[in-house]
A and B are shown apart, each in its own frame.
Chain A
Amino acid sequence: MFETIGIANGVRLHVNETKQFKTVNIALKFKTGLSAPKAAARSVLANVLQHSNEEYPSHTALRMVLDDLYGTSLYIDAAKRGTEHIVSLNVETVNDQYLSEDGVLEKVLNLMYLILFKPNMENGLFKETVFNREKNVVRQRIESIYDDKTRYAQHRLTELAFPGHPASVPANGTIGDLDGLTNEALLAVYQSMLKEDKIDIYVVGDFDAEKAAAYVRRYFHFDGREPEQALVHGDVPQPEKERVTENEEMKQGKLHIAYTTPVTFRDERFPVMQLLNGVFGGYAHSKLFMNVREKESMAYYVSSSYASQFGLLFVLAGIDQAMDEKAIRLIGEQLEEVKNGEISDEELGQTKALLTNQLKEALDSARGQIDIFDQYMGLTDEFDADYLISRWADVTKEDIAAAAAELELHMIYFLTGKESEQRHA
């Protein structure tokens, strides 16, 4: 799928030459070890860099150039994956062949160069008004989690369930980390990102690898670096309480449950856990959907997801506020079935078919190709879809039951309306 070229030590270019899309997609991913203060700083940095730069010193000026370049999409985001923090500069521009104009790509690359290497500076620091404004924007982004009660419940669960563990570090850091961030500190974080981060560059489009490498060398000057080794995270800590109910003014109850498993992304049994999650709650044919929703008529959404980096399994359900006990019991019963190996050939076959479909579908978008390759390249040298598909094919019911037996209930979190306070009193 991707051809990989070393640009410098710690800097790699991955190119997929294809005519599948009408656009060229480029992504630069800067990776470093995760910590909450770093996550906060790098989120602000992402915003500061995409706000303006030396040549286009206002937000409006920069956005006008992008409009002129046929609405080229350009954004920088900050994310976490396991113990890594990743800042990505993502660009998508229309392939010249569909336009009445040539040279659009070179202009786009030059703009990316300006954004990364020629930021909007003043007296040796980032321009103060931009720094303050973007710090404030990230603060508001963090605060807005509260307004979406599903996200808020998941945020509270991870905070309470994994204190001090990387699993609970938010991708944008915390308000406290933001408060402590100075312009000087941000500059240091910026310089270290360019000089020390591990960098993966992706190009997807009608573009050959040698040409892409020449462009990368011409527009981006990255020296070799010795990227730090991925941090090793310790065991998931025990929460203070295993069951927490909190109240907000709302109508529905949000039930969020965390389980732990020793099986992580790098474990031999990683594909088994993916199948377990699919049989249990990943799809519309899964046990949770078929029983808690369709049979018991108790929920509109009820599903599970597997966070493989830390070996966590989450269940999410939106239920009637008075129904938490019944829902917890029903979810527990479905998991018992999985543990007892009560999995039909049909369920197993459907889950394999849908995992395969999901993967192949994701590879039908350039962004999907980049995300999946970036995630899996550490797992095997020659990653392609067939690698995973063949490993799923080998998984048996017995494998799934055995993996389910190792799941441990870690915490039950219930976010619910005021009415239920009396009920629990």
Chain B
Amino acid sequence: MHKLHFRQLDETLYHEQLENGLEVFILPKKDFSKTYATFTTKYGSIDNRFIPHGSSEPISVPDGIAHFLEHKMFEKEDGDVFNQFSTHGASANAFTSFTRTAYLYSATGQIKENTETLLDFVQDPYFTEQTVEKEKGIIGQEITMYDDLADWRLYFGVIENLYKEHPVKIDIAGTVESISQITADHLYTCYRTFYHPSNMLLFIVGSADPEEMMELVRSNQAKKEFPPAEPITRLYPDEPKEAAVKSGSIRMSVQKPKVLVGMKPAVTDLSGSEMLKHELAMQLALELLFGRTSDFYHEAYENDLIDESYSYEFSLENGFGYAMVGSDSHEPEKLAEEISSTLQRAAEMWPFGEEDLNRVRRKKIGTFLRALNSPEYIANQFTRYKFNGMDLFEVVPTLEGMEVADLQEAFASISGEQQRTVFSVLPNRKGQ
């Protein structure tokens, strides 16, 4: 077991890669009574075309299957896994993103029992045609719920507009139609391919004792048999650099229009420290352009172009990414124009210097330190970083080494006009 101490952050991280390939990380938190653990596979909604374990031909699987599989992991022959966690005083949950499926619990006691339950239920699939059929009603209602969420439709509308081929444009849960095609065999195929320990990471943060916990995980894993690790072949289509659709809108039952301007990054092939630097530089650049101290924000806020729903974000993974800026607005077109011209001006002449950088850098460092109070943040972010070859604990040093030119260079990845789209959700009735 390796031990890494981060003096500035006052945190110690324990790490070991087990014989079966599983990466295990433990971060003890002084004075915390809770433990939070995530068991994550590098497998998400975009992995819909791949070569199955033990085969040589690629297959395509129905949309929404990674998320469906996540739901079905909780049902076993002898009952529901939630019951086991509840019995040991733990709350359990799971989520599926574009690139990851994570299973988690949080508990303030019986950590050994709960960690065993977490490892055992994720490593013991049980799918039958009957249980698969039953789940379609539940997930059907989940999909319908998201269909009615205007903010989700807005967010996804932007991604659909940006991407022409890449599966990121497919809703994570799929559609009622696509999930109707899912069978137990499909689930086993995906499970065998993506749930091998060598494709997974366990992160435990909180009141756990590192030595004791690592020993428990070691012996739990040593009892189980897995086929030898194989590299996973995932197939993604070629994606043009430009946004697929320049603008679009839908009508829904909302009282005020919602609009987002989306930007498709040109650079999506980074990993490791390069990616970390690029991602942080982009976040700083967006903070300067669209943050609460920006000229843009001031003008838009005081002129009632934006309200409290205003947001901006940047997300980057291997092969895709997106930046978004927008708000509920009575003048969605005007707001979109202001956002676009702000981007345009910054692309033509970079307006920020050292002093601006220092201010947002300080803010970013403070925000990061605050986030380290949260076990959830640490476990989830660390896992995402690690799957991209990045190190969460390099954030502060990377920020400290950042220069103005880095921000400018990162921004160039999203500033092109052809990479931009506008999507709106408009009220379906006048006067509503």
A binds B: yes
Q: Which residues of A contact B (CB under 8 A)?
A: 18-23, 58-60, 63-64, 66-73, 92-94, 98, 129, 133, 136-137, 140-141, 143-144, 146-149, 248-252, 283-285, 289-290, 293-294, 297-301, 318-320, 346, 349-351, 353-354, 356-358, 360-361, 363-366
- Interface check B241, CB cutoff 8 A: no
Assembled-state Cα–Cα distance A69/B369 (Å): 13
B147 engages A252 (CB within 8 Å) = yes
Ordered by A's residue number, 28 sampled pairs between the chains whose C-beta atoms are within 8 Å are A19-B31, A22-B10, A67-B363, A71-B362, A71-B366, A94-B369, A94-B370, A133-B301, A136-B304, A140-B256, A140-B307, A143-B256, A144-B255, A146-B254, A146-B255, A147-B151, A251-B148, A252-B141, A285-B83, A294-B80, A346-B83, A349-B87, A350-B87, A357-B108, A361-B33, A363-B33, A364-B33, A365-B373
Given contacts A147-B255, A249-B253, contact A298 B137 (CB under 8 A): yes
CB distance from B227 to the nearest CB of A (A): 32
B373 engages A248 (CB within 8 Å) = no
A-B contacts besides A22-B373, A93-B366, A350-B86, 6 pairs, CB < 8 Å:
A143-B256, A290-B80, A294-B138, A364-B32, A364-B33, A364-B34
A297 engages B255 (CB within 8 Å) = no
Assembled-state Cα–Cα distance A140/B254 (Å): 12
Given contacts A300-B139, A357-B90, contact A67 B150 (CB under 8 A): no
Contact of B253 among A248, A290, A358 (CB under 8 A): A248
Number of B residues near A (Cβ < 8 Å) is 71
Most chain B CB atoms below 10 A, which of A290, A293, A351, A354: A354
Q: Which residues of B contact A98 (CB under 8 A)?
A: 8-10, 369
Q: Which residues of A contact B430 (CB under 8 A)?
A: none
A297 engages B135 (CB within 8 Å) = yes
- Interface check B252, CB cutoff 8 A: yes
Assembled-state Cα–Cα distance A319/B370 (Å): 39
B10 engages A71 (CB within 8 Å) = no
Q: Which residues of A contact B34 (CB under 8 A)?
A: 357, 360-361, 364
Most chain A CB atoms below 10 A, which of B90, B106, B362: B362
A300 engages B145 (CB within 8 Å) = yes
CB distance from B68 to the nearest CB of A (A): 13
Q: Which residues of A contact B428 (CB under 8 A)?
A: 249
Q: Which residues of B contact A283 (CB under 8 A)?
A: 82, 86, 91
B359 engages A70 (CB within 8 Å) = no
Q: Which residues of B contact A357 (CB under 8 A)?
A: 34, 89-91, 106-109
Chain B residues 126-140 with CB under 8 Å of chain A are 134-139
Assembled-state Cα–Cα distance A147/B304 (Å): 19
- Interface check B3, CB cutoff 8 A: no
- Interface check B246, CB cutoff 8 A: no
Assembled-state Cα–Cα distance A145/B73 (Å): 35
B144 engages A252 (CB within 8 Å) = yes
A23 engages B292 (CB within 8 Å) = no
Interface string of B3-24 (1 = CB under 8 A from A): 0000011100000000000000
A318 engages B144 (CB within 8 Å) = yes
A365 engages B374 (CB within 8 Å) = yes
Q: Which residues of B contact A69 (CB under 8 A)?
A: 362, 366
Q: Which residues of A contact B135 (CB under 8 A)?
A: 297
- Interface check B56, CB cutoff 8 A: no
B255 engages A360 (CB within 8 Å) = no
Assembled-state Cα–Cα distance A81/B428 (Å): 35
B31 engages A20 (CB within 8 Å) = yes
Assembled-state Cα–Cα distance A141/B306 (Å): 12
Assembled-state Cα–Cα distance A375/B87 (Å): 28
What 5 A-B pairs come out closest when comparing CB atoms? A70-B366, A71-B366, A297-B137, A353-B89, A71-B363
- Interface check B302, CB cutoff 8 A: yes
Q: Which residues of B contact A251 (CB under 8 A)?
A: 144, 147-148
A140 engages B328 (CB within 8 Å) = yes
Closest residue of B by beta carbon distance from A418: B253
Assembled-state Cα–Cα distance A366/B373 (Å): 9
Assembled-state Cα–Cα distance A70/B364 (Å): 7
B148 engages A353 (CB within 8 Å) = no
Contact of B363 among A70, A252, A360 (CB under 8 A): A70
Closest residue of B by beta carbon distance from A23: B370
Q: Which residues of B contact A353 (CB under 8 A)?
A: 86-89
B362 engages A137 (CB within 8 Å) = no
Given contacts A59-B298, A140-B308, A147-B150, contact A94 B141 (CB under 8 A): no
Given contacts A70-B363, A136-B304, A248-B253, contact A356 B89 (CB under 8 A): yes
CB distance from A334 to the nearest CB of B (A): 16
Q: Which residues of A contact B307 (CB under 8 A)?
A: 137, 140-141, 144
A144 engages B31 (CB within 8 Å) = no
A67 engages B88 (CB within 8 Å) = no
A350 engages B139 (CB within 8 Å) = no
Contact of A73 among B91, B139, B370 (CB under 8 A): B370
A63 engages B141 (CB within 8 Å) = no
Q: Which residues of B contact A141 (CB under 8 A)?
A: 307-308
B256 engages A297 (CB within 8 Å) = no
Q: Which residues of B contact A299 (CB under 8 A)?
A: 138, 141
Q: Which residues of B contact A20 (CB under 8 A)?
A: 30-32
Q: Which residues of A contact B304 (CB under 8 A)?
A: 133, 136
Interface string of B77-112 (1 = CB under 8 A from A): 000101100111111100000000000001111000
